[in-house]
Amino acid sequence: MNRRNRLLILLVAVLVLGGVALAATLHAAGRAAEQDRARPGDPRVARGEVTLDAPGRSVFRNMAWGPHRDEIASVPAADPSGPRTSSGVRCLRFHSAGGTGICLQAVHGGLRDGYRAVVLDARLRELRHYDLAGIPTRARVSPSGRTVAWTVFVSGDSYAGTNFSTRTSVLDLRTWTLDRNLEDYRFSLDGRPHKAVDTNVWGVTFADDTHFYATVATGGRTHLVRGDRTERTLRAVHTNVECPSLSPDGTRIAYKKRVEGASDDAPWRLYVLDLRTERETPTAERRNIDDQAVWRDGGTLVYALPGDYGSDLWTVPADGSGSPRLTMAAALAPAFTG
């Protein structure tokens, strides 16, 4: 084959491959534009004021298509399928308690995207923001609204590419002191101090402003830890617990449990752990759950499952009875006021 023919083949290939690449990008762009338009039958969403201290509201990230997609919205907790009021504040992850909101959002830069954690007051105005080192995954506010925590995924370096870890930070809103990385706390396992470089901490849930629970992973296992911000300690209290969520009365933990016999890509089921008896109760939800559940009240869990709009919210009783029910389509990261 002579040089001219080879250049010709290359030219044709560049045109064909370039065409395929362009078509794929345009197709994806068209799909993205479509998501900015509301469809008939979607939940109704209107711009309005969202407050975090009005009682009886459910506040969440709206996933319904249209101009308010990804904004923090609210509905009456008693009428979850009713019309939504959208705030104009866009968040990937959100949580609220005690009139404080934490919003983990994307910041679109010139050459790359970044992320930041924004602390919001009850009217969703920014109090402070903190740059994040990775992709947001979990966010929580303490019941009083005076302490917040978040977890991001960090990928180590771009050469190997597949090495991920988590980084969890806790912020005290009274003093604005930030514990950047809970891995710096002293971790004890079976009553002995434990140090390992593969330690990862994620999924904080607050008991009060100084005490919390979280997941610590090390050596291929996960542990429920009880954390103390004053002592800067993490103490393992139970194994095989991920993304804990403490009940309002502080006696039970709803969590993701890795169950035996489940497939590798769907390993988790929603369980409730009684902290006093250490008894584990499976909920009636039998599907794989990858979310940090929220307690709507003392007896009901709310959690996200993949849906047509990316994510829907479901409920199930915490005592193992009943059956899962869809409570809100096209929503993620709920919080319940007062």
Quote helix, strand, coil % in the chain, to nearest 5.
Answer: 10, 50, 40
Nearer residue to other proteins within complex by CB, 57 or 223: 223
Phi, psi values for residue 50, rounded to 5°: -115, 130
Stretch that binds other proteins, among 1-9, 41-49, 120-128, 277-285 (CB under 8 A): 1-9
Q: Does 20 bind other proteins (CB under 8 A)?
A: yes
Minimum distance, C-beta of residue 111 to other proteins, in the bound complex (Å): 7
Counts of helices then strands in the chain (DSSP H, E): 1, 27
Q: Does 38 bind other proteins (CB under 8 A)?
A: no
Stretch that binds other proteins, among 24-32, 42-50, 95-103, 231-239 (CB under 8 A): 24-32
d(CA 125, CA 100): 10
Q: Does 264 bind other proteins (CB under 8 A)?
A: yes
Stretch that binds other proteins, among 28-36, 59-67, 75-83, 274-282 (CB under 8 A): 28-36
SS3 179: strand
Nearer residue to other proteins within complex by CB, 63 or 316: 63
Q: Does 76 bind other proteins (CB under 8 A)?
A: no
Stretch that binds other proteins, among 60-68, 120-128, 193-201, 321-329 (CB under 8 A): 193-201
Which residue type occupies 168? Answer: T
Stretch that binds other proteins, among 57-65, 161-169, 225-233, 246-254 (CB under 8 A): 161-169
Stretch that binds other proteins, among 37-45, 50-58, 134-142, 312-320 (CB under 8 A): 134-142
Using CB under 8 A as the binding rule, the residues of this chain from 89 to 128 that contact other proteins are 92, 108, 111-114
Cβ-proximal residues to 335 (8 Å cutoff; 6+ apart), any chain = 52, 58, 59, 60, 94, 95, 96, 97, 101, 141, 294
d(CA 320, CA 126): 40
Q: Does 131 bind other proteins (CB under 8 A)?
A: yes
Nearer residue to other proteins within complex by CB, 15 or 127: 15
User: Which of these, 216, 218, 256, 220, lies nearest to 237 by C-alpha position?
Assistant: 216
* Contact criterion met (CB below 8 Å) for 100 and 119: yes
Kindly state the number of chain residues that form the binding site for other proteins, as judged by CB under 8 A.
Answer: 63
The secondary structure of 211-252 as a DSSP string is EEEEEEEETTEEEEEEEETTTTEEEEEEES-EEEEE-TTSSE
Measured between alpha carbons, how far is residue 215 from residues 32, 47, 167 in Å? Answer: 35, 37, 12
d(CA 243, CA 290): 8
Which of 67, 76, 156, 338 is the binder for other proteins (CB under 8 A)?
156
Which of 54, 207, 217, 329 is the binder for other proteins (CB under 8 A)?
217
Q: Does 284 bind other proteins (CB under 8 A)?
A: no
d(CA 2, CA 9): 11
Cβ-proximal residues to 79 (8 Å cutoff; 6+ apart), any chain = none
Q: Does 307 bind other proteins (CB under 8 A)?
A: no
The residues that touch other proteins, with contacts defined as CB under 8 A, are 1-3, 6, 9-10, 13-14, 17-18, 20-21, 24-29, 31-32, 35, 92, 108, 111-114, 131-135, 137, 153-167, 180, 195-200, 217, 220, 264-266, 290, 306, 311
